[in-house]
Amino acid sequence: LYKDGETNTKIVYYIKGEKIAIDAYMPVADISYNVLMRCVIYGDHCYIYLPKFPFFYIKVSADVIDESMDTSMINYIGTEEKIIDGKEYTVEKYEYEGETVGYGRINDEIVFIETYTDYYNIVYIESISYSVNDLVFVRPFWAIDLSGFFSY
């Protein structure tokens, strides 16, 4: 999706117990078309493939995606009120390893997450569902592993 010269990428997280899958709708070149890329964490590995073309995949160590975080090193910075597009949000800010993250809330519901690193980034949460179809966690057993063609 392109809007005002900026690229917006839709990302969907699926979590059920210890199963994790991530769908990213990636923009293609300079056209208004997105390709769905899926990442499924299965055991110690992460399988990345295109669900519309599931004949090939790339397998990487799950550590690339699932870095452990020492929560004792998260520091609460403070809370502030912020107005975006005429709506008032309560934003709680935390710092971890030099990065600041803010959680925007309305009535205790998180509606966006903002990060401050080398640049400002904001992620809006469109919806939360508590039902997940198990088919999103299926890794492509039948496909060809292209991992040997890439260095990571």
Helix ranges, 1-41 (H): none
Contact 143, 49 (CB under 8 A): yes
**Residues linked to residue 105 through DSSP beta bridges, in sequence order:** 90, 110
Residues in contact with 51: Cβ distance below 8 Å, sequence separation at least 6, in sequence order? 36, 38
Q: What is the pLDDT of residue 2?
A: 32
Chunk the chain into consecutive blocks of 10 residues (it has 152) and report each block's average pLDDT, rounded to whole numbers.
50 81 76 78 82 79 58 82 85 84 80 76 74 81 70 52
Nearest Cα to Cα of residue 65 among 88, 49, 42: 42
Measuring CA to CA, how many Å separate 25 from each of 9, 32, 71, 86, 127? 6, 11, 30, 29, 16
Report pLDDT for 32. Answer: 64
pLDDT of residue 127: 72
